Structure 1
Amino acid sequence: MNSAKGTAIVYDWIDKWGGVERVLLALSEIFPEADFFTSYYDKEGAAWAKNLKIKTSFVDKLPRFIKKGRITSFPFYSYVFESFDFSAYDLVVSVTSSFAKSVITKPGTQHLCYLLTPTRYLWIQPENYFQNNFIFSLIKPYINCIKNWDLVVAQRPDKIISISQTVADRCQRYYKRKSKVVYPPFDVEYWKQVQSAKFPSARAQGEGKVQSYSSKFKVVENKRYFLVVSRLEPYKKIDLVINVFNQLALQSKNRSHQDCTSLIIVGGGSQEKKLKKIAGGNIYFYNKLTDEELGCLYSRAQALIMPQEEDFGYVSLEAQFFGCPVIAYKKGGATETVIAGKTGLFFDSQTKESLIKALERFEAKSYNIRTNTKKFGPENVERFDKRIFNKKFNETISNITTQNSNPKTQN
């Protein structure tokens, strides 16, 4: 879809690689001439963005420890996106879980917000994001002020699209706005290329058996393992999974079983050192893996564990594509991407007891679930294919740009 004047895509910060960044790349294909606006750009952490035309704010010039720290950078974000000038564009697409939706546009410029979630550290258990209770008590009055401001600026977009029904419900609850759901794109063709490149003879051998296995994973090559793929942040609840597998290892040792079930954790984040410190010897950490290496892990894992309430849960689609079942907390985006009994199972509460019971249920029927996931997983992810995303996104853009909009009153 081409705009007469131009398109701007706005994202909170471009500093890493993950599910949201795949969305940004998909948008760059829809709008190949678009300019990207962001608070700051980490060229090393976000090497994938090197070919994008990126414009940054004054935050990009601040010392690294300030702009990378969510607490130290917090005071700046109510000003960052309002400082950008979008007069040269007739379409602005904000992609945000934070404050990118606060951009100010003039009459004649349409603003579409692709909402990842209402700002988590304002609306959804903010205490989980500020581990120091003393600091949280100090800044709580400021957080309440920013919440009020966030509610006001959430009225600025002409239209909001949510990435899941979970997020659409939050949007209605916190921002008092209805939103259409367009699921993020899962590039089925790309993942097929990854699969065939890494496992060229997998189909010939049957059941997706891995023929070559990265030397990185030799330590678990002959072990049964479960998998976590996630950023290592407090709200992701990775400590819950670690505590469960520490307990399982202890029980196995007491029963004199030499080879207890292992856990592989893929990802990085602010909690990495803390999580490694509490992890037992049956738990292994990896970071910055290629998609081919991830494919190796998914293909051999017993199941992917998702202990957090996800906004959408892109990794659950990756797992299902490779025939890996998903054991997920029964709340949030996973309830929209995982089919109970066919591609995984759920646990009801974020407690050790609930997750252990889910693992026991999985062990009792693992053959059936794994067989079902190999059959239904690749079929299920087709519902989220990139072609569907492109079609629905373009339809939405066409609708809002052809409407005879009344002049907007800026908040």
Structure 2
Amino acid sequence: MTSQTPRRVAIVHDWLVTYAGAERVLAQMLLCYPEADLYSLIDFLPPEDRGFIGNRTVTTSFIQRLPRAQKKYRTYLPLMPLAIEQFDLSVYDLVLTSSHAVAKGVLTGPDQLHLCLCYSPIRYAWDLQHQYLLGSGLSTGMKGWIAKIILHYIRLWDNRTAFGVDEFMAISRYIARRIYKVYRRGSTVIYPPVDVSEFSMGTSKEDFYVTASRMVPYKKIDLIVAAFTAMPDKRLVVIGDGPDFAKIKARAGVNVILLGFAEATVLRDYLQRARAFVFAAEEDFGISPLEAQACGTPVIAFGQGGALETIVPLPEAGQIPLRPPTGLFFAEQSEAAIIAAVERFEREGDVIQPTACRVNAMRFAPEHFRAEFIDFVERHWTAFQLPRTRSKSS
């Protein structure tokens, strides 16, 4: 399904360095509008990850040519607002931005329609600033003050450039609230695509739990490992690596197996066989819990952020479920809360069926994203054209 309306289309993405969550969304945007030209601050995609952009030549900014930009591009954050404003998009009728940092700050004119799919306002400049500075060792000292001054000006710029966006799309209701809080702008929720076809359902469950993530502080893998270490009669398999791997491994009990990085086939196999998937992060959306559900596996999750929109919880006593449950929530990021949730799951979780988990995950299949994205763009394009048509005829 693609648009056939003749016009020039540009898609602007923050940066291209890996094929991660935002790039999976970008891939679907490019399928919706294959005629679009692609812009990005930098393009260091490795050859094995370039398939999703096809044969496109990516127009990049001056940051592409700065020293060590491939590995240290984040250090050029103070230059990114300037860099994104240097893209000359004046020849395009329709500009679509894929933005979690600065892409939405491109300059457009009154006869151009700018629609932004926003993964979040810049997290480390707004409500997560203090957490970011603390985790980066920048909460004190001269470097800390420099970082705080830079982020102050990033916030001013980010807020101002929100006025250049005609309409926002948000990847969850959680992010829609953040967009309104920061920009005082409404948005339409279009959930990101999850490639559920890559995760077939497993109906034979074994007596172990699984979690999978990059090991960085906000993912809270350390809490999950600590909770299961305190439950030696329960097995946990942890998939993923990252900066905190050695620290987490040192805390793990004998009942916790850390596999490190694993290929997609290995991840899929564990997700299909696990009794439940455990998820302790507060994510903007969260793809991993949906991949687990696509495998027919329930999810035990922290009840904040995007998880509230992708998991159907077990009803509390006396409640009537509106849909078949696919998991349950715990109320705080703590070992005790995770332990209590696992114990509740073992008492009540048998009512959760693999087919219910699979059906829930299918709501987020790529074809649903493409249909909703094209409908949003075309409706707003039509509405945008009407005043111009009337002006020409008068």
TM range, smaller chain: 0.7 to 0.9
The answer to whether 1:4 aligns with 2:12 is no
* Alignment match, 2:61: 57
Post-superposition Cα deviations, 1:56-114, rounded to whole Å, max 9, x if no partner, equal: 222222344x5544752222222221111112321111111111111111232211100
Is the aligned partner of 1:169 residue 2:177? yes
1:143 corresponding residue in structure 2 = 151
Alignment of 1:182 with 2:190, yes or no, is: yes
Shift of 1:288: 5.7
Q: What amino acid does structure 2 have at the position aligned with 1:395?
A: D
Q: Could you say if the C-alpha distance between residues 312 and 208 of structure 1 is closer, same or farther in structure 2, counting changes exceeding 3 Å? A: same
- Alignment counterpart, residue 111 of structure 1, candidates 104, 109, 114: 114
Report how many residues are paired.
367
Deviations 1:292-322 (A, max 9, x none): 3332121012222221111111222111111
* SS class of match (1:365): helix
CA distance in 1, matches of 2:333, 2:55: 39
For 1:19 and 1:180, locate their aligned partners in 2 and report how far apart those are by CA, in whole Å. 19
Picking from 348, 353, 356, the partner of 2:331 is 348
In structure 2, C-alpha distance between the alignment counterparts of 1:121 and 1:49, rounded to whole Å: 28
Tell me if the contact between 2:14 and 2:99 (Cα under 8 Å) persists in the aligned partners.
Answer: yes
Structure 1 residues 355 and 63, CA, compared in 2 at 3 Å: closer, same or farther? farther
| Alignment check: 8 A CA contact 2:298 2:326 kept | yes
> CA offset at residue 243 of structure 1?
2.7
Q: CA deviation at 1:287?
A: 2.5
Q: 2:261 aligned with 1:287, yes or no?
A: yes
Offset, 1:126 = 1.5
Paired residues of 1:95 and 1:114 also in contact (CA < 8 A): yes
Q: 1:365 is matched with which residue? A: 348
1:128 touches 1:234 (CA, 8 Å); kept in 2? Answer: no
SS of structure 2 residue aligned to 1:155: helix
CA displacement at 1:283 relative to structure 2: 3.2
For the Cα contact (< 8 Å) 2:27–2:53, is it kept in 1? no
Distance in 2 of aligned mates of 1:39 and 1:276:
37
Taking a change above 3 Å as real, the CA distance of residues 247 and 70 of structure 1, as seen in their structure-2 partners, is farther
Q: CA deviation at 1:52?
A: 4.8
Select between 328-337 and 84-93 the one with higher mean Cα deviation: 84-93
Which moves more between the two structures, 386-395 or 46-55?
46-55
Q: TM-score, normalised by structure 2?
A: 0.85
In the alignment, structure 1 residue 303 sits paired with structure 2 residue 276: yes
Match of 1:236 among 215, 219, 223: 219
Tell me, in whole angstroms, the C-alpha distance in 2 between the residues paired with 1:383 and 1:50: 25
What's the counterpart of residue 379 of structure 2? 399
| Aligned ranges 1:36-51 → 2 under 5 Å | 36-44=38-46, 46-49=49-52, 51=54
Higher mean alpha-carbon deviation, 72-81 vs 331-340, is at: 72-81
Q: 1:29 to 1:367 in 2, by over 3 A?
A: same
- For 1:2 and 1:300, locate their aligned partners in 2 and report how far apart those are by CA, in whole Å: 44
Change (3 A) 1:22 1:39: same
Shift of 1:276: 4.5
Secondary structure in structure 2 of the residue aligned to 1:389: helix
Partner of 1:32: 34
* 1:22 match: 24
Partner SS state of residue 340, structure 1: coil
User: Residue type matched to 2:331 in 1?
Assistant: D
Please list every run of at least 4 consecutive aligned residues from structure 1 whose deviation after the TM superposition is greater than 6 angstroms: none
Distance 1:38 1:89 in 2: 16
| Partner SS, residue 17 of structure 1 | coil
What amino acid maps onto 1:111 in structure 2?
Answer: H
Given that 1:5 and 1:88 are in contact with CA atoms closer than 8 Å, whether structure 2 keeps it comes out as: no
- Which of 97, 102, 116 pairs up with 1:99? 102
Deviation, structure 1 residue 137: 4.1
1:329 deviation in Å?
0.8
**Contact kept? 1:224, 1:262, Cα under 8 Å:** no
Higher mean C-alpha deviation, range 123-132 or range 269-278 = 269-278
Partner SS, residue 364 of structure 1 = helix
Tell me whether 1:74 sits opposite 2:77 in the alignment.
yes
- Note closer, same or farther for the CA distance 1:304–1:124 as it changes in structure 2 (3 Å cut): farther
Write the distance in 2 (CA, Å) between the matches of 1:225 and 1:86. Answer: 53
CA displacement at 1:233 relative to structure 2:
3.0
**Matched-pair contact (CA < 8 Å) for 1:182–1:389:** yes
Contact kept? 2:299, 2:327, Cα under 8 Å: yes
**What are the residue-to-residue correspondences of 1:377-396 with 2, within 5 Å?**
377-396=357-376
Which deviates the most, 381-390 or 301-310?
381-390
Residues 226 and 302, structure 1, Cα contact 8 Å, conserved in 2:
yes
Decide whether the 8 Å contact of 2:30 with 2:53 is kept in 1.
Answer: no
Q: Distance in 2 between matches of 1:100 and 1:379?
A: 34
Q: Which amino acid aligns with 2:82?
A: Y
CA distance in 1, matches of 2:242, 2:109: 38
Counterpart of 2:368 in structure 1: which amino acid?
A: I
User: How many Å separate the matches in 1 of 2:123 and 2:39?
Assistant: 21
Identical columns (%): 33
1:376 maps to which residue? Answer: 356
Where does structure 2 lack aligned partners over 5 or more consecutive residues?
315-324, 389-394
Deviations 1:4-42 (A, max 9, x none): 342211111122233322211111111112222112222
